[in-house]
Amino acid sequence: MRSSRVFASICAVEPSRYSEIIGNKNGHTLLDQNIAYYIRKNSRIRNKDSFLHSRIIDKRWSFGDLRKQVEYLSRNLLSMGLRPSERVMSFSYGCFENYLLQLACSFLGCMYIAIPPEHYTADKLRSYLNQFQPQILYLSDKYQGQTDHAKFSLYDVLLSVIPELAFSYPGQTVQFEQSQEFPYLKKCIINGRNGEEIKEAHKFTHLLPSIHSYHEDHLGRFNLLLHPDEPILSLWNVDPPLEDKTFTSYSHMHCMNSGSQFTNALGLDSRCRVSFLHRHFSTPLGAIVVPFASLSTGFEIVLQNEDLLRKSPVDIVAEVNQQNLTCFVGNRVDFERIMNICGSEHRLSVNQIAIFEDSSVEETSQDFLLLVKERFKAQDVILFRGPVESCYMVTHRSANQGDLGILPYTGLKVVGDRGTYDAKILSRGVRGNLRLRGPHVTPYYYSNAGLLTEFQDELGWIATSRDGRIEQNGAWIAMKAQIY
């Protein structure tokens, strides 16, 4: 305890000697309420304003729709037997239903586990069921809003893992007495078969026409019992920091502040329109940063169809330019693909570009940012960089202004000892265990051993179980996963 304070005081005097960089507050407020608070607040102010415009099925949902449907859905989950601190696991292709489930779980203090549908195999399903022990399993046979008949194999996979489901029929209230292998599983919901219990997004808008909800008081009392640091969302890692840490969990506070910092960095307001590609629905970019930025600011999300990149350059330019976008969000691969398709002849017109980059890959050059700025006729291009635990948001850089430094309320240091409560801070240029600070990291994660918690010291630093290094000039890198 005492030694960490000593090292912190030394760091304040001689910042160059130690591996530590800390972001200042810059007057930005720290959001410390539960997600339900911001949903209700925004739906009061912007009831009829558009929250999400899906280019996939050409449908819009307003903030009022979002709140009414989330409250109704969370009430349904509660009546199914779901309780705080329990888990809902979902294999779905993502659209509005993903946000509804995710936000409904946050209302109840449950964890929503989003797994990309390409991981839906019998072995992986069994592995994830044992790893997370969810109470509700949600499957969707809809792809981009339409029922995909090629996905009917998901029932065969499900029956091979949970044979007790063969004794039930679609639509009945109680589906199976109890699974022998997975006794914790209370409910298996298949959208399109017994999806009427969870209600599809566009079918129950008429149920709660008033801006004041019948369930609001009950759920409001529920929310008061929750803590902003409770984990509510778990996302699959493309490049895990450890072999067994294949998922990263995020809390209420983490999600809201990631979105808030994004809007502050880009200067967005409620009149803006922000877009990203459909495939990011299960990454921090599309599941956390953009939707929660919209909840804190009130701008409209335009969800692009994945078929956009299969069109001709003329069609891509025409479709994107007529959407009047303020900001287009993606990773480096997205923009490389768009520029390769369109070439230098066809220019898109987007006001701002935001690129997210993992800290374990080589840093994107300034020339690439300037190229993107030129091809998209953008006023500025901002690159966010960081580990996946921080939603790739630790430092940010601009094509116009160069390095903008570390984001507010975040901190990053390299420590010498993994296990101790007050680890020694190493000198710069030495490789050690990376620690992050601030609203960006939650101390919970799941592994095959069940729920593990990582130590959080009195200054709010949390080990990420990832190796890193900070150079003498202040540049830093997080190491890749070490697979044995």
Angle of helix 153-161 relative to helix 122-132, nearest 10 degrees, comes to: 50
Q: How many Cβ atoms from other residues are within 10 Å of residue 431's Cβ?
A: 15
Residue 361 forms part of a structural domain = yes
User: Within 13 Å, how many C-alpha atoms sit on residue 285's CB side?
Assistant: 27
What element of type H or E holds 78? helix 63-79
DSSP conformation class of 448: T
**Which amino acid belongs to residue 439?**
P
Residue 94 forms part of a structural domain = yes
DSSP conformation class of 283: S
Measure the CA–CA gap between 164 and 185, rounded to whole angstroms. Answer: 12
Q: What is the pLDDT along the chain (484 residues), one digit of tens a residue?
A: 444 444 444 344 345 578 988 888 777 888 989 998 998 888 888 888 888 888 777 778 888 888 888 888 888 888 778 888 889 998 877 667 788 889 999 999 899 998 887 788 899 899 889 888 898 888 876 655 555 555 556 777 888 898 877 765 555 555 556 788 888 888 887 765 444 444 443 333 333 334 455 556 677 777 778 888 888 999 888 766 666 667 888 999 999 999 999 999 999 999 999 999 888 888 999 999 999 999 989 999 998 887 888 888 898 888 888 888 999 999 999 999 999 998 888 888 899 999 999 988 889 999 999 999 999 999 999 999 998 889 999 999 999 999 998 999 888 999 887 556 567 889 998 998 888 887 877 776 665 555 666 667 777 788 777 788 998 888 888 887 655 4
Q: Where does a domain end: 202, 224, 246? A: 224
> Is the domain of 316 the same as that of 376?
yes
Which residues are registered as beta bridge partners of 402? 398
CA distances from 462 to 54, 84, 442, 448 (A): 37, 24, 8, 21
pTM for this predicted structure? 0.87
> Is the domain of 344 the same as that of 219?
no
Q: Where does a domain end: 185, 202, 224? A: 224
> Is the domain of 472 the same as that of 351?
yes
> Is the domain of 212 the same as that of 239?
no
Residue 250 forms part of a structural domain = yes
Residue 41 forms part of a structural domain = no
Phi, psi for residue 417 in degrees, rounded to 5: -125, 125
> Is the domain of 189 the same as that of 163?
yes
User: Distance from CA of residue 381 to its chain's centroid?
Assistant: 22
Phi, psi for residue 428 in degrees, rounded to 5: -65, 150
Residue 45 forms part of a structural domain = no
> Is the domain of 108 the same as that of 140?
yes
> Is the domain of 413 the same as that of 435?
yes
Residue 458 forms part of a structural domain = yes
Residue 35 forms part of a structural domain = no
Q: Which domain holds residue 80?
A: 60-224
> Is the domain of 192 the same as that of 241?
no
> Is the domain of 129 the same as that of 91?
yes
> Is the domain of 272 the same as that of 409?
yes
CB distance 249 to 234 below 8 Å: yes
> Is the domain of 129 the same as that of 12?
no
User: Within 13 Å, how many C-alpha atoms sit on residue 221's CB side?
Assistant: 4
> Is the domain of 364 the same as that of 413?
yes
Q: How many Cβ atoms from other residues are within 10 Å of residue 6's Cβ?
A: 12
**What's the number of domains the chain is made of?**
2
CB distance 80 to 136 below 8 Å: yes
DSSP conformation class of 430: -
Token duo for residue 12: 């304040």
CA distances from 455 to 4, 63, 422, 448 (A): 14, 38, 10, 19
State the virtual CA torsion across 426, 431, 433, 437 in degrees, nearest 10: 70
Which among 397, 402, 392, 480 has a CA at the least distance from the CA of 436?
392
pLDDT of residue 152: 57
Which residues are registered as beta bridge partners of 412? 21, 436
DSSP conformation class of 18: B
Phi, psi for residue 157 in degrees, rounded to 5: -60, -45
- Residue 422 makes CB contacts below 8 A (sequence gap 6+) with 1, 2, 3, 4, 457
Q: Where does a domain end: 224, 240, 268? A: 224
For residue 336, what is the domain's CATH number? Answer: 3.40.50.12780
Residue 89 forms part of a structural domain = yes
